[in-house]
Amino acid sequence: MKIQTLVALAAGIVASSAAVAQTAVNATPRPLAEEAAAAYRDQARYPRSSRPILDAVDPILKKREISKQTLPGPNGEGPFLSVWTSALSYEPGETAELYAELTDGPTRAPSLANLLDKTRRDEAQTITAKLIAEESGLLGEVTYRDDGQNGDRRAGDRIYTARFTMPQARAPEAGFAESIAVHVQAVTARDGARAALGGLLYSNPGAQLTGRYKDTMRDGNLVMSAEIDVKTPGRYHIAGTLAGKVGRLAGERPMAWAQNAQLMTAGKQWIDLPFYGLIFRDMDTAGRYTLSSVTLTSALGMPNAMSSVRRDVHQTRSYALAEFLARPFGDTQLLESVKRLENSAN
């Protein structure tokens, strides 16, 4: 099962932009071309490698959110089998927590027990899974349990849990990763077998963040730098989210995102993460900032090897708005698109 890499996910953030406000309740909507041009013009204010966060949602954490994979029984009948994992990616020696549950489908009336239980989960006789690597084959097999032990959170809640430690001996080459399919089968007394397919990434990053960070002002931009220890030379990608106090809002919130990629040699060295200065003026945020999330990805092959996300790793010195760049970046490709869209609207 292919798992989307962080680099591709980060590139997708560029496509987001502020919504165009309606100036009057009964106003005629602007032509679609003009709305697209306005959105592109907003995006062109910043480089593609550094963007403001308008919705206060950390894009790095959002892209690491876990979703359930659900399949129905024969002919779309219930119960449905849902499976998921505790994380998207695991490194050698880490233990993956695997989850499964059976829920009533829309084509079957729920049992009395499930009507009393708002979660409407079914009980399984057994749930097992095979973890199969895309290239190297079977990694192992697990049995799920619902007894409140060995990682299961609560006995009898009908959310079944299995644990699997990623074997060191089967780790991908340093700097690389392998997609792992999780083939799950549940057996119930009333409805027989149900199957679902989940997945995870077995990553063996070729470099690690050391935990040392620093910040500096450079040409009106705030540059965060992270030290990394490179074991396998190659191309590495870093992405980070900066939190700060925006306007008059109380407390910090995610307000800027940045990424960078470069070729690295072996050994300890620094990699920069520049946040474009105009973002701080547009967001009206001055003072100290927190590097609230940061992650390093080994971009040596496909799929990329993903490191875990580090949280709240560094707080900067205090900066004044006057220190930040006030000039829009002026992305030439986006501005050319603006011209074409405006010409088509005319």
- The pLDDT value given to residue 120: 56
294 beta partners: 240, 310
* CATH architecture under which domain 66-204 falls: Sandwich (2.60)
- The pLDDT value given to residue 345: 66
Would you mind telling me the total number of residues written for the chain in this entry?
A: 346
Task: Identify which of 58, 53, 54, 70 has the alpha carbon closest to the alpha carbon of residue 21.
Answer: 54
- The pLDDT value given to residue 341: 83
Cα 276 vs. chain centroid, distance in angstroms? 22
Residue where the block lists tokens 């931009």: 221
pTM: 0.81
- The pLDDT value given to residue 338: 87
Q: What does DSSP assign to residue 344? A: H
Residues of the chain with pLDDT under 70: 1-30, 105-121, 345-346
Q: Specify burial of residue 47 (Cβ count, 10 A radius: 0-12, 13-18, 19+).
A: middle
Whether the domain at 6-22+46-62+206-326 and the domain at 66-204 fall into the same CATH topology: yes
Backbone angles phi, psi at 130, to 5 degrees: -110, 130
CA distance 80 to 121: 9
CB hemisphere CA count around 15 (13 angstroms): 5
Q: Domain spanning 6-22+46-62+206-326: which CATH class is it, in words?
A: mainly beta
Contact 58, 292 (CB under 8 A): yes
Peptide bond preceding 205: is omega within 30 degrees of 0, i.e. cis? no
Q: Where are the domains of the chain?
A: 6-22+46-62+206-326, 66-204
- The pLDDT value given to residue 271: 97
